[in-house]
Amino acid sequence: MMSRPVRRVRRAVTETLLLVDVVTVIFSAVHLQGSLRFVVALIFGLVVPGWSVVGFLKIRDVALLVSLSIATSLSVEMVLGEAMLAWWWHLQIFELILGIVCASLLVLQLRIPARVTEGSRQ
């Protein structure tokens, strides 16, 4: 079982990334441009899609968790970017859809009780 401080930190990270996600969706919806959107979108692109998926695993090792989140984020975005190149290219709608999907997964993470998966126990 994960300790209470670890659960609190993971919950705080998930809530912070949910806030970054919502801000990114709002910036994209109102077509806001500038350096603030660049910074928020960069944080979103590097971390949020990966944490949305990897956060369910409840991995204890912080370095593994962070690196897996970033790798998953970049992989998801590269695959979806290639699909957009092949069929339909519209970055703002892509950002909106990805933001909404990630936000729903982050909210789901906040609602599911914290349990450690069997594969991550050491």
Residue 16 CB-half CA count within 13 A: 10
Q: What sign has the CA pseudo-torsion 55, 113, 15, 33? A: positive
Is the pLDDT at 85 greater than 50? The verdict is yes
Please tell me the pTM assigned to this model: 0.86
Domains identified in the chain, total number: 1
Domain that holds residue 80: 4-120
Amino acid at 6: V
Is the pLDDT at 5 greater than 90? The verdict is no
Q: What is the mean pLDDT of the chain?
A: 89
* Cβ atoms < 10 Å from Cβ of 26: 14
Rounded distance, CA 59 to CA 23, Å? 27
- When pLDDT is cut at 50, 70 and 90, the band that residue 116 belongs to is very low
| Strand (E) or helix (H) holding 97 | helix 91-111
What pLDDT is attached to residue 113?
A: 67
Return the C-alpha torsion angle 76, 51, 90, 23, nearest 10. Answer: -170
* Cβ atoms < 10 Å from Cβ of 48: 23
Rounded distance, CA 84 to CA 4, Å? 42
Report pLDDT digits (tens) over 59-76: 888 899 999 999 999 999
